[in-house]
Structure 1
């Protein structure tokens, strides 16, 4: 005798690449380390075997490429206002995206940026640099300097989030409390007086001058010094 239909678990809706990537992104966002296993992804999608997913993404690296390119699509380049607003918008929008998806920073270092969104992003940034007539290596160096700041800051954010989850200190207050006995011992030993004086200063938690945006502007100032004056003046006209 067959079981009544009410006892059966309905089959999940047909899979698609978009649905798989969306589910993987949700999993990565929820994990402090940003790691996603194919088994966990299959369970989230209601699929019995992880092998069913490979038909849509090819491999785990293929899934990583798709996830990364989805985030590249959240970056933006301001067009028509010159190289500096273009690269500043690239950095600012990238930082917004990587704060939402810190795991992306690891993939950005691990996987080649060859997806459609990544290629469109690079093309837009390079287009804004073309009027400066810089060498090819310099043009790409400008773009990669800004993206390196985004990716490096994102990787630091990811590692800190993973560390905090691992030691059970999710807040700054928790972290300070766990470190306090060790810092007190260091101060009593007197081996590192300058560090101990800093650690005892109540103003050490004041807002630091090196915000993401400030460092981005410092980088753009430095890149600007590489532009020949004739090209910079011509571009302003």
Structure 2
């Protein structure tokens, strides 16, 4: 069997698919399919799409036509997630902490624009070109610290874990709000008000009730994404040898 006849195993990464996708037509190309898939996922609160819905958006009669360009549904996920990885940036030449801070902040911007990314990023290995460039840039900024490879990757995963974990929480909350029809914070507060009254009357959780009834509890939000990111960076800084600290702010 020649290299041009090989096919990846089920669930194989799209980056190593052979043969290459067919030449673009006026209606279809890998780029057009991925762009339409991202738009379709953005339009759905949980971010879940089907190949049939994607084909309809592209004006294609059969979803099978799409597989020639992306290989499989997993291949489409690979391509979609890597496109979002391309929106995340690592500042270069300013030191390890600004690099990871930039990674975290642009990652948070990306998941707020594409909440489904936080779920799909856990579903497939980050082996696309944009993901690899991201990891390479972050690891390069950590290299001067003299830390071992496992610890350096641990720094990167700590920040990305905060990005994706926060993104998953955002996705689940938005999905819940859409499902039960409580889009605004005021709607949610009104819905839980009867339960809060019962909890307060029972008197078993005075500290929680005190927090929940404090009108200043979210002014400003004490555990914003940015604040938690700084706490994480403070913790990582304790692992940095003094001689290799470099720029830290």
**TM-score (normalised: structure 1):** 0.90
Counterpart in the other structure of 2:27? 14
Larger helix fraction of residues = 1
Q: Distance in 2 between matches of 1:224 and 1:34?
A: 36
5+ unaligned residues in a row in structure 1: which ranges?
1-11
Counterpart in the other structure of 1:231? 244
Q: Distance in 2 between matches of 1:200 and 1:77?
A: 40
Deviation at 1:190, TM superposition (A): 2.6
Asked if 1:129 is matched to 2:142, the reply is yes
**TM-score (normalised: structure 2):** 0.86
Asked if 1:102 is matched to 2:115, the reply is yes
CA-based RMSD = 1.4
Moved over 4 A (4+): none
For 1:111-122, what aligned pairs fall within 5 Å after superposition? Answer: 111-122=124-135
Deviation at 1:150, TM superposition (A): 0.6
Deviation at 1:208, TM superposition (A): 1.7
Deviation at 1:52, TM superposition (A): 1.1
- What CA deviation, in whole Å up to 9, does each residue of 1:142-170 have, x standing for no partner? 11111111111111111110010011000
Deviation at 1:205, TM superposition (A): 3.6
Aligned length: 223
Counterpart in the other structure of 2:220? 207
Q: Distance in 2 between matches of 1:222 and 1:195?
A: 28
For 1:1-237, what aligned pairs fall within 5 Å after superposition? Answer: 13-232=26-245, 235=246
Q: Distance in 2 between matches of 1:198 and 1:122?
A: 40
